């Protein structure tokens, strides 16, 4: 078992999500930075789909009731074991406290424990969905988490990602790109708003110009959908997005993974992708 000593502002249990339930109004959810979680799992011998912890900006601190093998990936942060800095795969003795510090680059750190976080799955996933409330609640101080049985498998872990002050995102236009002057999307530099979260990444910049008046009935929304609310500022939907929305969706970003580690104020530019 793990006891949460310091939960941080938002630490949740995440695996690779619960795809296939959008028709029931359930988004995929799962780790925002999937490659980082997979790397952490690989380092401790877990299968890629094992559940770990996703921290946000300020990390968390955990006390281990039994000895465990742990890896921390994702955002750059100082990790301490019983107040002493450690790196790489960490062998945690029973009774020790592992502290994942404030992110110095990136936003989200991923903590994998050999055996995985063994909370009860919901619809086949142990992920916390912050929009619908499915899955385990976000961590609080004093919470206790069960750990599964370590598999003892070790595989190639891959390389850590680099985080940049400016992102370029590829986007396929449609289905409602005719509702705005979408050429403006590709000449405007946007900034990530502090109002962003696991549901969506809000952008701040020049408002897109409407080409059509009126309103739409609610339509399906997918991961990476670029929706334009009434203020004309694009919003990119992330893992905990709703499955329908009423504002026009003018495109879909092909890979939202870089947004998982992009801090408020990061510059975002778009490039058009061919529909073929």
Number of domains in the chain: 2
Mean pLDDT of 244-269: 97
Contact status, residue 1 vs residue 144, Cβ threshold 8 Å? yes
**CA-CA distance, 61 to 69, in Å (whole number)?**
15
Asked whether residue 189 carries a pLDDT value surpassing 70, the answer given is yes
Domain of 250, CATH number, reads: 2.40.100.10
Q: Which domain holds residue 253?
A: 166-272
Residue for token pair 């028709």? 23
Asked whether residue 192 carries a pLDDT value surpassing 70, the answer given is yes
User: Same structural domain for residues 36 and 111?
Assistant: yes
Q: Are strands 97-113 and 60-64 parallel, antiparallel or unpaired?
A: antiparallel
- pTM of the predicted structure, to 2 decimals: 0.95
Position 275 scores a pLDDT of 82
Mean pLDDT of all residues in 140-168: 82
pLDDT at 165: 82
Q: Is the pLDDT of residue 159 over 70?
A: no
Q: Does residue 128 sit in the same domain as residue 194?
A: no
Residues 140 and 175 placed together within one structural domain of the fold: no
* Residue 160 within any structural domain of the chain: no
Look up residue 57 and give its two tokens: 């900006």
Q: Which two tokens stand for residue 74?
A: 């994702």
């Amino acid at each position: 078992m793990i006891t949460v000593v310091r939960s941080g502002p938002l630490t949740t249990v995440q695996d690779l999500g619960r795809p296939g339930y959008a028709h029931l109004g359930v988004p995929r959810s799962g780790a925002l930075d999937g490659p980082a979680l997979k790397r952490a799992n690989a380092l401790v011998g877990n299968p890629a789909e094992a559940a770990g912890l996703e921290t946000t900006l300020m990390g968390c601190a955990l006390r281990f009731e039994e000895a465990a093998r742990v890896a921390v990936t994702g955002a750059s942060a100082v990790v301490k074991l019983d107040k002493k800095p450690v790196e790489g795969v960490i062998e945690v003795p029973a009774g020790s406290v592992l502290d994942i510090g404030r992110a110095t680059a990136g936003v989200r750190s991923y903590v994998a424990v050999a055996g995985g976080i063994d909370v009860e799955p919901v619809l086949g996933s142990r992920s916390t969905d912050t929009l619908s409330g499915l899955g385990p609640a976000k961590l609080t101080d004093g919470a206790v988490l069960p750990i599964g049985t370590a598999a003892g498998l070790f595989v190639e872990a891959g390389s850590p990602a680099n985080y940049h002050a400016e992102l370029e995102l590829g986007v396929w236009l449609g289905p409602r790109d005719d509702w705005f002057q979408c050429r403006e999307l590709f000449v405007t530099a946007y900034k990530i708003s502090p109002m962003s979260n696991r549901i969506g990444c809000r952008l701040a910049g020049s408002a897109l110009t409407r080409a059509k008046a009126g309103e739409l009935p609610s339509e399906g929304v997918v991961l990476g959908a670029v929706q334009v609310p009434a203020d004309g500022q694009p919003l990119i939907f992330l893992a905990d997005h709703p499955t329908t929305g009423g504002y026009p969706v003018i495109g879909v970003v092909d890979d939202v993974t870089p947004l998982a580690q992009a801090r408020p104020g990061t510059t975002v530019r778009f490039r058009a992708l061919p529909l073929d």
